[in-house]
Amino acid sequence: MSSFDFYVSPVPEEIWGVPMAGNTRFSWDYDNGRDQLLNLYQKGKDKQWDARSRIDWGLEVDPDDVAGLPEEFNPLSGSRIWDRMNRKERTAFTRHQGSWLFSQFLHGEQGALNVSARIVASAPDMDSKFYAATQTMDEARHVELFSRFLREKSGMYYPVNQDLAKLLAESLEDSRWDLPYLGMQVLIEGLALAAFGLFRDLSTNPLVKQLLAYVMQDEARHVAFGRLALKD
Ligand SMILES: [Fe+2]
Ligand SMILES: [Fe+2]
């Protein structure tokens, strides 16, 4: 089955092209890396995990409620719309909401994969390139993990949210090398870390808790990189 069979509403099958701007930078200085960045690079290498073997994919997930959040965290809960919904409608809503949420995580991870690869090319220093290469691998593993989770546990993809797509495109389109750092590493990674933390803590589902805990280990390094790099 193709991904397109899983989307709740049709998405374009063509590739979305965001034009690249600015230079790919080469440096002939292979020494003099900054200790803090090199440490982060080393950690990135040491702490790789494999979603295929590390995650307990056999854990049950209710497809009607993949996030497994208590009802009071549903944004509609307590509203007149919610009160008027019958049980079947509420179940359908929660099912779509869970799929929407994890789909945005998935598309955001693909954005992070592209932006970190872009940072490898555009960053001027070797230590930043090294570190961003580990992050690129991290983000590939995250895309793998969220797409498998959605396919196997929810059976439904949602298209990318247009504001998220805009933020990703703006981070990529700028020719300055530090804008992807700011857009991706600080804004998007920071938001993702907060959202993952919230769902890891509140979800009643053991698989969701487990996979978010692993992803968060990596995301904490990504946010740390954005802060370090921008300080300089
Ligand atoms: Fe990620
Ligand atoms: Fe990340």
Structure tokens at 214: 């692993």
Q: What pLDDT does residue 172 have?
A: 86
Q: Please name which of 194, 199, 222, 220 lies closest in space to residue 211, comparing C-alpha atoms.
A: 199
pLDDT category, 162, cuts 50, 70, 90?
Answer: very high
Q: What pLDDT does residue 32 have?
A: 87
Give the distance from CA 200 to its chain's centroid: 14
Cβ–Cβ under 8 Å, residues 42 and 139: no
Report the percentage of the chain scoring pLDDT > 90: 70
Measured in Å, residue 139 CA sits from the centre of ligand 2 at: 6
Q: Which ligand is nearest to the CA of 191?
A: 2
Q: What is the mean pLDDT of residues 47-57?
A: 96
pLDDT at 231 over 90: no
Structure tokens at 82: 């919610």
**Distance from C-alpha of 28 to C-alpha of 24, rounded to nearest angstrom:** 14
Measured in Å, residue 189 CA sits from the centre of ligand 1 at: 8
Q: What pLDDT does residue 223 have?
A: 86
Q: In terms of residues, how long is the chain? A: 232
Q: What is the pLDDT of residues 98-134, one digit of tens each?
A: 999 999 999 999 999 999 999 999 999 999 999 999 9
Contacts with 58 (C-beta within 8 Å, 6 or more apart), sequence order: none
Q: What is the pLDDT of residues 64-107, one digit of tens each?
A: 999 888 888 888 888 999 999 999 999 999 999 999 999 999 99
Cβ–Cβ under 8 Å, residues 61 and 208: yes
Measured in Å, residue 142 CA sits from the centre of ligand 2 at: 8
Q: What is the mean pLDDT of residues 27-44?
A: 94
